[in-house]
Homo-oligomer: A and B are copies of this chain.
């Protein structure tokens, strides 16, 4: 039984764009949001793709929880830094702007960073870090998010899954693109186990008392019970994942003056979420000739991939590789959307007057 249908990239893009436009989003902004969403599906990060068009964005726009025109503005700016107010609009729009600004500044001053406050969920972190690649730059992208993760020795969800993305350009190999939540797993992964009525591995989450649990229903979104930071328990050095998550929170929220930890809103909440982001671009050529860097990155990637394999494994991957391969496949064969998601797109679309009438491939 095939659980998903495949659609043409352009069709999905057009649908997402029209959807946003119908909810009052200006055309250029709608294109950005659509591109970020569909890029997630193409790369196989379907948890952050069109599946969220209603729950994270459509619902908030419809109920006026966020501003469809994303009236972002610059609060402070120097040669190498910029701070934006995201205007409580679409996170994708101000993030696209902020990353482009970093790249522009890095062309002149080689290193640049931006923070954004008063924003909303921005989709996949890697979309923005990867924007630096075609400019022969290293790109970095981080965001805070609604509280789902417990600090080490805590028992409630205080910190977001605060992802870090780092992208560096290569020569012939795929670029190195790390895009990782600083929790062991995202909350969606727990829900998958809950739906399948399966136990979760010990170390992914904790129950109301702060004890590690294999029961996915105990690791509730909104707590008590919470996800654990990367590493898991203290024995496995979960405090390092916890430290990385706080580092992200500092760069996003403290540097911009935004809400932090449990102050950050959930997408379904009828309030301003005040999500914050951090971006950075590094002009490699400032250090050494870009061709030398790219060739070395290829060598490093091959060094990793050609190293001896563990029993039962035939291949060592490098960050981003699986996503690039998935994207290559999906570009040719169509972008997969899970059948229940297609049904939701149809029903929500109908209600909002945005019919989903795409033909699967």
A interface residues, Cβ below 8 angstroms from B: 76, 78-81, 83, 109-113, 115, 138, 150-156, 158-159, 164, 166, 168, 176, 178, 180, 184-185, 201, 203-204, 206, 209-211, 224, 230-232, 235-237, 239-244, 246-247, 249-251, 253-257, 260-262, 282-284, 286-288, 292-293, 296-297, 299-300, 303-304, 307-313, 315-319
Q: List 10 A-B contacts (CB under 8 A).
A: A79-B110, A80-B80, A80-B286, A151-B316, A158-B303, A203-B236, A246-B304, A257-B296, A260-B296, A260-B300
* A260 to B, closest residue via Cβ: B300
Q: Determine how close the nearest CB of chain B comes to the CB of A23; give it in whole angstroms.
A: 32
Measured between beta carbons, the chain B residues less than 8 angstroms from A284 are 255
Nearest B residue to A263 via CB reads B303
* Contact present for A313 and B210 (CB under 8 Å): yes
A-B contact sample (19 more), CB < 8 A, given A80-B111, A81-B111: A78-B110, A80-B80, A111-B111, A155-B310, A158-B303, A158-B304, A159-B304, A166-B243, A166-B247, A168-B250, A180-B244, A201-B235, A230-B237, A231-B241, A232-B232, A242-B319, A254-B293, A256-B287, A256-B288
Once the chains bind, are A184 and B231 in contact (CB under 8 Å)?
A: yes
Chain B residues near A201 (CB, 8 Å)? Answer: 235-236
With both beta carbons as reference points, the residue of chain B lying nearest to A304 in the complex is identified as B151
Nearest B residue to A258 by beta-carbon distance?
B296
Q: Which residue of B lies closest to A240 (CB)?
A: B180
CA distance A327 to B138 in the complex (A): 37
CB of A246 within 8 A of CB of B318, answer: yes
| Cα–Cα distance between A152 and B253 once the two chains are bound (Å) | 32
A297-B110 contact in complex given A247-B166, A310-B206, A311-B209, C-beta closer than 8 Å? no
Q: Which residues of B contact A315 (CB under 8 A)?
A: 153
A151 to B176, CA, bound (A): 14
Whether B303 pairs with A260 at a CB distance below 8 angstroms is yes
Contacts of A235 in B (CB 8 A): 201
Q: What residues on B are CB-neighbors of A164 within 8 Å?
A: 244
A300 close to B249 (CB less than 8 A): yes
Contact of A309 among B112, B210, B299 (CB under 8 A): B210
CB distance from A165 to the nearest CB of B (A): 10
Residue of B nearest to A296 (CB): B254
A109 lies within 8 A of B80 (CB): yes
> A109 vs B80: C-alpha distance in the bound complex, in angstroms?
7
**Closest residue on chain B to residue A303 by CB atoms:** B261
Question: Which B residues touch A310, using CB under 8 A?
Answer: 150, 153-155, 206, 209-211
Closest to A224 in B: B308
Asked if B260 and A76 sit within 8 Å, CB to CB, the answer is no
The residues of B that contact A110 with a CB separation of less than 8 Å are 78-81
Chain B residue with the shortest CB-CB distance to A76: B287
Task: Decide if A178 touches B243 in the complex (CB within 8 Å).
Answer: yes
A73 smallest CB distance to B (angstroms): 15
A201 and B232 CA atoms in complex are apart in Å by 13
**Is the CB–CB distance between A309 and B155 below 8 Å?**
yes
Q: What residue of chain B has the Cβ atom nearest to residue A231's Cβ? A: B230
